[in-house]
């Protein structure tokens, strides 16, 4: 039986095992997916190989370590400089980032999106910003502090901190900050949000499983809203296809959604 894991710290809360195992069951694929708590991200590759894992997902705070440790990084992950998926290819560790394409799949349901305001500048924002840029969607980053903006500026992405923001019209507003995850904060000033909501059509929050204050305010302003469940599902589904080397269908996807929801 092939062994897969998710590395994280903490990892106890992760829903990836229930989602991935549901996928394996659907495909009758002989594999098991477990949680692996990892304190030291520097030994992630060694730990992966020593345990004979066939593949892994990587979550907070190890995505950058995983990027640096990999034998080979493929696709947009090279620019993002963070990976969430490892594959064992004949003893070599191949790394991918499926958060970026997972996000793009998740916003497909909105239809045509031309301009995006992305709130936050952390690891998730990097993946989202580069995914949008690669799809020729105009993206502007707005973050609480200046410190993390350098990465975006180096990629030619217009970026502001709260102090110097210059607004324009956006189709979609994305919250990729952790505001609203465990608290009731908005990701930025309420007036600023209300002003961009006036002309926007859609709002997306990376936080999943709840209506955050950000989504609640967007709904009040009559925007179409979506939480982060589909993003989590699609990043998992794309990793699953890499794990199994199979092109999985909609039945597998919906099985994984049920697994994710614990249904």
Q: How far is the C-alpha of 220 from the C-alpha of 223, rounded, in Å?
A: 8
Structure tokens at 45: 């590759």
Determine, following the binding rule CB under 6 A, whether residue 141 of this chain makes contact with ligand NDP: no
Nearer to ligand NDP, 4 or 204 (CB): 204
Choices 28-36, 70-78, 116-124, 242-250; region in contact with ligand NDP by CB under 6 A: 116-124
46 in active site: no
Asked if 97 contacts 76 with a C-beta cutoff of 8 angstroms, the reply is yes
The residue number with the shortest CB distance to ligand NDP is 122
Active-site choice (45, 63, 126, 226): 63
Work out how close the CB of 60 gets to ligand NDP at its nearest, in angstroms, rounded to a whole number.
5
For the window 200-239, what string marks contact with ligand NDP as x by the rule CB under 6 A?
Answer: ------xxx-------------------x--xx--x----
* Alpha carbon of residue 99 to chain centroid: 4
Under rule CB under 6 A, how many of the chain's residues touch ligand NDP? 27
Determine, following the binding rule CB under 6 A, whether residue 41 of this chain makes contact with ligand NDP: no
Q: How far is the C-alpha of 51 from the C-alpha of 44, rounded, in Å?
A: 11
CB atoms within 10 A of CB 144: 16
User: CA dist 139 to 67, 112, 126, 129, Å?
Assistant: 24, 14, 11, 7
Q: How far is the C-alpha of 156 from the C-alpha of 150, rounded, in Å?
A: 10
Nearer to ligand NDP, 88 or 230 (CB): 230
Task: Give contact residues for ligand NDP (rule: CB under 6 A).
Answer: 60, 99, 120-125, 143-145, 147-148, 176-179, 181, 185, 187, 206-208, 228, 231-232, 235
């Amino acid at each position: 039986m092939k062994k897969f894991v998710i590395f994280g710290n903490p990892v106890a809360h992760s829903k990836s095992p229930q989602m991935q195992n549901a996928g394996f069951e659907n495909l009758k694929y002989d594999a098991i997916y477990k949680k692996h708590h990892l304190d030291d991200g520097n030994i992630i590759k060694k730990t992966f190989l020593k345990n004979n894992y066939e593949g892994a997902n990587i979550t907070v705070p190890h995505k950058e370590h995983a990027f640096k440790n990999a034998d080979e990084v493929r696709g947009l992950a090279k620019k993002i400089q963070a990976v969430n998926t490892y594959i064992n290819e004949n003893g070599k560790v191949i790394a991918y980032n499926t958060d970026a394409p997972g996000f793009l799949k998740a916003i497909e349901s909105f239809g045509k999106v031309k301009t995006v305001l992305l709130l936050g500048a952390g690891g998730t924002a990097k993946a989202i910003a580069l995914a949008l840029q690669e799809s020729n969607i105009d993206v502007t980053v707005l973050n609480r502090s200046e410190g993390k903006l350098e990465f975006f500026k180096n990629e030619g992405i217009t970026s502001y901190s709260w102090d110097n923001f210059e607004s324009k019209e956006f189709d979609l507003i994305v919250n990729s900050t952790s505001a609203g995850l465990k608290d009731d904060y908005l990701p930025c000033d309420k007036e600023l949000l209300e002003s961009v909501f006036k002309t926007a059509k859609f709002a997306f929050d990376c936080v999943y499983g709840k209506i955050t204050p950000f989504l609640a305010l967007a709904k009040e302003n009559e925007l179409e809203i979506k939480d982060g469940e589909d993003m989590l599902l699609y990043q998992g589904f794309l990793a699953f296809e890499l794990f199994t080397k199979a092109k999985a269908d909609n039945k597998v996807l919906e099985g994984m959604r049920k697994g994710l929801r614990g249904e």
